[in-house]
Amino acid sequence: MIKHVTAALAALFLLLPAVSHGQDLDPENTLIMQLEDGEVTIRLRPDLAPNHVAQIKTLTRRGFYDATPFHRVIDGFMAQGGDPTGTGAGGSDLPDLNAEFTNTNFGRGVIGAARTSDPNSANSQFFICFDDCSFLNGQYTVWGEVVEGMELVDALKRGEPVQDPDHIVHMRVAGDTN
């Protein structure tokens, strides 16, 4: 009996962080990414990367991410998107950003700014970690985290490049009405 109660409490404890995510989301710092199979909710982290978050929100509000593919999806690592060309070489017309590196852990669902070998070259591309990617800590900018819908990210087609890739149908800031 005690084992069952302990197991039930442990299971409940594991669920609590997932439940609390939706309760403390600021609509101005939350993205809703509509994929072909459903919505992914992303908590933006202006506390870690205010300039990256501002640029992502600007691009989102312009409709920049709508219909862009996940062009590089590596099993056990990450899904990369945010390039309108689908080649991995594209970006927006906004200036590149200076790095905003922290020691925040690149765990499952964490979103980072993709860049070239130049730390100050992030623009529009991003990646979502499938698993622990702590080897990236302090080398890439963390600007968000998936709080709901990670199973939809997990289901993205794999490839490098992806053949017939999945796309972002529409992305919006939760506080906006569109």
- Residue 167 pLDDT greater than 50, yes or no: yes
- Residue 22 scores a pLDDT above 70: no
Tell me the three state secondary structure of residue 126. Answer: strand
Residue 14: inside a domain? no
In a domain, 44, yes or no: yes
Domain interval for residue 151: 25-173
Whether residue 106 lies inside any domain: the answer is yes
Whether residue 6 is contained in a domain is answered as: no
- 23 pLDDT band, cuts 50/70/90, is low
**What is the reported pLDDT for 146?**
98
* Distance between CA atoms of residues 158 and 156, nearest Å: 6
Tell me, yes or no, whether 11 lies in a domain.
no
- pLDDT (0 to 100) of residue 16: 38
Whichever domain contains 146, its CATH number is: 2.40.100.10
**142 located within any domain:** yes
Structural domain contains residue 18: no
Q: How many domains does the chain have?
A: 1
Give ∠ CA 35-38-41 in degrees, rounded to 5.
85
Please check the confidence at residue 35 and state whether its pLDDT lies above 70: yes
Structural domain includes residue 123: yes
* Residues 63-91 pLDDT 10s: 999 999 999 999 999 999 999 999 999 99
Task: Give phi and psi for 110, each to the nearest 5.
Answer: -75, 140
